[in-house]
Amino acid sequence: LILAFLWTCLYFFKLTPKNSSSATTPPLPPGPRPLPIIGNLHQLSPTPYRTMADFSRKYGPLISVKLGMITTVVVSSADAAREMFQKHDLAVSSRKATAAVRAADGHDLHSMVWLPVNPKWRYLRKISTVQLFSAQRLNAGQSLRHDKVVEMAEYVGQCCKSGELVDIGKVAFTTQLNLLSNTFFSMDLASHKSKDSGEFKDLVWKIVEEIGKPNLADFFPVVGFVSWVSVNRELMGIGNRFNEVFTKIIRERLSDESRGYGDVLDTLIKIMKEDGSELSLDDIRHLLMDFFTAGTDTTTNTMEWAMTELVRHPEKMVKAQDELERVLGKDTKSIQESDISKLPYLQAVVKEILRMHPPTVFLVPRKADSDIELCGYLVPKNAQVFVNLWAISYDPNTWENPEKFLPERFLDQDVDVKGQDYGFIPFGAGRRACPGMTLTYRMLNLMLGTLIHGFNWKLEDGLSPDKLDMSEKFGVSIQKAKPLKLIPI
């Protein structure tokens, strides 16, 4: 009771405006009235991105809510996002690491995703850009990406001959997992025919789910330790498998440096061993965790939703297939990256999927490092800042008929995925935008184009497309609750 009383006093103290600054300080953004202690937590549904979108329709494109003791500002329109990224990007570039991230073996202290914009973050970002995502590196990796997509097509071809169901998410995951593992380690980590990729896929989703799951410590820092113990117990079991794989590979490489693979891991180890290097073994391990979780999760979910929407809208599938046949010919089943620029409708399909089913519904939580004025309202120092990507993607002020699957909307406007058009920022914007967006976009076009050019598809047991289960499972990303399994023909 005493603790509850103190929390209530602290809560109302924070809500009470200070008279000396009331004349000059703008108000907080509007929002639903919070309750003492719990704030607006009682109003959140199992799909909080939809709840926040409902709030924005009632209160405006910039709202404030109280999540427990944490003041949270939510950006829900393209215009508000534009003002934030163009005028205040640096001020809101710090991260609000969740309890799950902090519990994951100090991931927030080493992860490029969760570090604040500081010298270490700049150092890791530079290494990632130069070693993975520079134009030179991307061009050098074309043949590897092509080989992995061909392997995927060969597996689907075998399923086609035998009449086996294809788990679209698992196929996409295995392809992307092996692309990353060959880029980093010069080896496959799984095979389309083995159970390994399914196990890895489950591990990645568990990590994504735990990081996205609400936790008491995120809303009430005073109970942080108790909650941290619970979260840490969960994540340790999940993360151990990945850490075992990464640690084993790194140790083997360190014990046999004379061989020289010429891959990214070789380069990272070389950088780590330089005199005065700022890169540690822990940094490398957490960097791998970032790329293998985010890289596989994004591609897997997007591909699964893409095939789901195309099966539900067969006329769009036929339109994309006709374009592929016209550009590539009937006998050419293999798509090259140089073909993508000649396939505007395929690109439009990928972009429409990224709009309707964005890789993350909220961009990674940010923290205001100082008071800023945004859209005429105050975003106070230390406030948590969410960008509701789902709300922006379904905003009727930006998108006509946003609930409809209409790839054609992207044929009429020159919109890319690089974060310059604030109504369409699937990979974020500003200095914290996803560094791997170009690689991911290329792979999505290659994989989707290959699957629909080489095969036709039908649902199992004669299921009608309009009866397809579209229910969602929420984590950091939105996964299809029931895996999509199709028959290739």
Instruction: Name 167's bridge partners.
Output: 485
CA 413, CA 401: separation in Å to the nearest integer?
A: 16
Task: Count Cα neighbours of 397 within 13 Å in the Cβ-side half-sphere.
Answer: 13
**C-beta separation of 486 from 459 below 8 A:** yes
Report whether 9 belongs to an annotated binding site.
no
> Which residues are known binding-site members?
434
> Which residues are known binding-site members for heme?
434
